[in-house]
């Protein structure tokens, strides 16, 4: 179990928001090509991914963890 201060959590969310805002033109490659992980499965559909997309995904996961 990991405990985070509220301020740390809010800084992380702000970082993801900034990545979302500035990463729309930066493409990424998910996974190592070995397969097997949930992000690899999401990348298998052939769509180009961006830093913005990954930031929104990470923010969504952190918000789920908090609830």
Q: How many domains does the chain have?
A: 1
Mean pLDDT of 1-5: 85
Q: Is residue 52 part of a domain?
A: yes
Mean pLDDT of 33-55: 69
For 51, the domain range is 6-66
Q: Is residue 50 part of a domain?
A: yes
Burial of 49 (0-12, 13-18, 19+ CB in 10 A): middle
The CA distance from 59 to 67, in Å, is 13
Mean pLDDT of 31-58: 71
pLDDT(11) > 90:
yes
Q: Is residue 1 part of a domain?
A: no
């Amino acid at each position: 179990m990991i405990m985070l201060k509220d301020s740390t959590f809010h800084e992380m969310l702000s970082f993801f928001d900034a990545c979302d805002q500035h990463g729309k033109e930066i493409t990424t490659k998910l996974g190592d090509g070995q397969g097997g992980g949930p992000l690899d499965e999401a990348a298998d559909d052939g769509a180009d991914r961006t830093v913005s997309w990954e930031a929104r995904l990470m923010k969504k996961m952190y918000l789920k963890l908090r609830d």
